[in-house]
Structure 1
Amino acid sequence: MEGLLHERWTLPFTVVPTALGTALDVNLSNASLVSISVTFATMCKSGSPIFLLLFAFAFRLEAPSYRLAGIILIISVGILLTVAKETEFEFWGFIFVMLASVMSGFRWSMTQILLQREAYGLKNPFTLMSYVTPVMAVVTLMLSLGLDPWKEFTSNGYFNSIWHVTRSSLLMLFGGALAFCMVLTEYILVSVTSAVTVTVAGVVKEAVTILVAVFYFHDSFTWLKGFGLIIIMVGVSLFNWYKYKKLQKKSSEDKLVDSQSTNVASKYVILEETDEEDSQR
């Protein structure tokens, strides 16, 4: 009973690093778009898989592997090529989006730990979001007070009339609903796979961003962009094959160790827990 009360008391504080990392990732990404274009932000954010891999190694979520590092590098190079030579460099926008990339790697690694460790009792993505969201709201409010030009609130074109206020509010509500569904889907995917898998799958989102920039912002689609997209697809295919072979090998080993197990969960586990199970056996 005492242990249960202790876990309930410490759980909110355990979630704070994840919520803080998520809030910084989202808000710094948005702040960077004030001074840089979507394509340049996408290019810089392509470094997220590299930071995620470093955090995954540090937190023992993934075993260091030259193959895995090579696959992540291939995907990152592909994304860089798709948006190369499209924008001008702006220092603070670059700093904000790179910090967002670091926070992205950190928060997805922490999210996997919270969702997959039994001790935290947060295997339900909705439960995790109920803890993370309040902290994110507070951090977002603090960053908004420090970064946003609130003195221009009533004079800008988005809130200078009742119709503009209504339209802007509806747009923010729609965008917020889409963001909520996206994050919830990512949490569900992390709970049954891994943070690295989510990031690699996220290259589809990057490709869609580039296509929107081409058709809506009229960015040119050059042969370099096409070559970059092909490299991305190759990297994703290699990663899926790598994980498939790894799961096959783990499934075969588990069947040999325990002949009574008929259903082997095809799930990514935290390496520390695997080590503990092996030591108990």
Structure 2
Amino acid sequence: MPISDVKYEAARDEPEPLDCYLQHAQEYQTTSKVPKTFIRNVKSYKRGQQQVRLPWQSILSALAPPGIASGLDVGFSNWALSIITLSLYTMTKSTSIIFILGFSLVFNLEKKSWSLVGVVIMISGGLLMFTYKSTQFVIAGFILCLLASFASGLRWTMSQLIMQKSKLGVKNPVDMMYYMQPWMLIAIFPIALWFEGEKMFDNIQKVDWNQPHQILWTTTAVFIGAILAFNMEIMEFMVVTYTSSLTLAILGILKEICILVLAFEFKGDQISRINFFGLLLCLGGIVLHVMQKILTNKKEIQENLELHSNSMTTVGSVEEDMDTNMPLLTERSTSLTNLLNSNFSTDEDDDKEKDDSSEVLFNILQRREP
């Protein structure tokens, strides 16, 4: 939340927000190189094997789309923040949760349910009511923010798809950032050059190189901002890895609520009755989402335990009576398939480590054959 406040204030005061983001993105790439190399060496030492490097075909087909979407998301967001108010930005950017839900359903990351749609409607509608007030409407900033929301939905759902369900092995946030940052630069650099290239060139000519302390101060400020944003993005990727992109979006809405509440409390903004009801509606949607996740996780755990128990029973039956091996295997095949599909990741290394019940049955049948 404090990082978001710094980001907002910096974007409001920065005359070239895209130029600022380009500097941060370059620092991202440099910063992610160090921990990536360290993690790779540690893994290689522990496993006794080298880390798999991604081929260019996989990078182009899998990592380029979310990288480009990330660049457009951050670039358009910073650009919109420089020309519209915080309330309008929060109201418009909250639509990203709708895009995330849509892409999650398209990519089969979330199960279709009316309760999920209800949670999204409650949160989006509540945030709209909470931020509703007389504010200056700028059509250009509104469109930019809406485009950023669309890119954000594509960015996080594809990131979840890659980190949870792909065979690329990119499950570490640092690795994900390392491979995505070049595409983020490619996406935003032409736009920044088109709209702010002349300003950037003029500012470079105006730099007084005889004052090294000023140059050092500016470089340090940019580097500190990049470090803060780097840590924030690592946490975001960790949330996506262990939960979902929709959960990350809902947590982002909660962050925006905290920022606006602090604005009401410390900046003298007035909260109306409709704002208060919107806050309650938004918080209610967040609570329902948390309860839904808890119940879903409990149900999945119980189903996995039942499947495991049934599989062990099947193994015992196979050992007692070999004549019923094939019927038992056929009857349990559906349950075994569900058990294999219950895990998000399909990484080859993880599949080798799992001793699932279907492999046990297959090995027993092979040993019992005459």
TM-score normalized by the length of structure 1: 0.83
What CA distance in whole angstroms lies between the structure 2 residues aligned with 1:172 and 1:268?
41
Q: Is the 8 A contact 1:82 1:225 kept in 2?
A: yes
Q: Is the 8 A contact 1:39 1:213 kept in 2?
A: no
Q: Is the 8 A contact 1:48 1:104 kept in 2?
A: yes
Name the structure 1 match of 2:65: 17
Q: Is the 8 A contact 1:71 1:239 kept in 2?
A: yes
Closer, same or farther in 2 for the Cα pair 1:199/1:218, shift >3 Å?
Answer: same
**Structure 1 portions without partners, runs of 5+:** 272-276
Question: 2:273 is aligned with what amino acid?
Answer: W
What CA distance in whole angstroms lies between the structure 2 residues aligned with 1:227 and 1:268?
39
Q: How does 1:243-254 map to 2 (within 5 A)?
A: 243-254=293-304
Q: Is the 8 A contact 2:68 2:186 kept in 1?
A: no
Instruction: Using the aligned pairs only, state the percent identity.
Output: 30
Displacement, 1:159? 6.4
Q: Which piece of structure 1 moves more, 22-31 or 85-94?
A: 85-94
Question: 1:269 is aligned with what amino acid?
Answer: F
Q: Is the 8 A contact 2:80 2:89 kept in 1?
A: yes
Question: For each residue in 1:230-277, what CA deviation from the matched residue of structure 2 results, as whole angstroms up to 9, or x when unmatched?
Answer: 22211111001011111111111111111279xx9xx98389xxxxx9
Q: Is the 8 A contact 1:38 1:213 kept in 2?
A: no
Name the structure 2 match of 1:197: 247
What CA distance in whole angstroms lies between the structure 1 residues aligned with 2:267 and 2:214?
23
Q: Is the 8 A contact 2:166 2:345 kept in 1?
A: no
* Structure having the larger proportion of residues in helix: 2
Name the structure 2 match of 1:128: 176
Name the structure 2 match of 1:148: 196
Please state if 1:107 is matched with 2:155.
Answer: yes
Q: Which piece of structure 1 moves more, 211-220 or 65-74?
A: 211-220
Please state if 1:37 is matched with 2:37.
Answer: no
Name the structure 1 match of 2:123: 75
SS in structure 2 of the partner of residue 61 of structure 1: coil
Displacement, 1:44? 0.3
Closer, same or farther in 2 for the Cα pair 1:219/1:146, shift >3 Å?
Answer: farther
Displacement, 1:152? 6.5
Name the structure 2 match of 1:8: 55
SS in structure 1 of the partner of residue 177 of structure 2: helix
Displacement, 1:112? 0.3
Question: 1:206 is aligned with what amino acid?
Answer: E
What CA distance in whole angstroms lies between the structure 1 residues aligned with 2:278 and 2:190?
38
Q: How does 1:203-242 map to 2 (within 5 A)?
A: 203-214=253-264, 218-242=268-292
Displacement, 1:68? 0.2
Using CA pairs below 8 Å that are at least 6 residues apart, which structure has the higher relative contact order? 1
Please state if 1:137 is matched with 2:137.
Answer: no
TM-score normalized by the length of structure 2: 0.64
Give 2:105's match in structure 1, choosing from 54, 57, 62: 57
Displacement, 1:118? 4.2
What CA distance in whole angstroms lies between the structure 1 residues aligned with 2:108 and 2:100?
12
Question: 1:226 is aligned with what amino acid?
Answer: F
Question: For each residue in 1:28-48, what CA deviation from the matched residue of structure 2 results, as whole angstroms up to 9, or x when unmatched?
Answer: 011112221122111101111
TM-align CA RMSD:
3.2
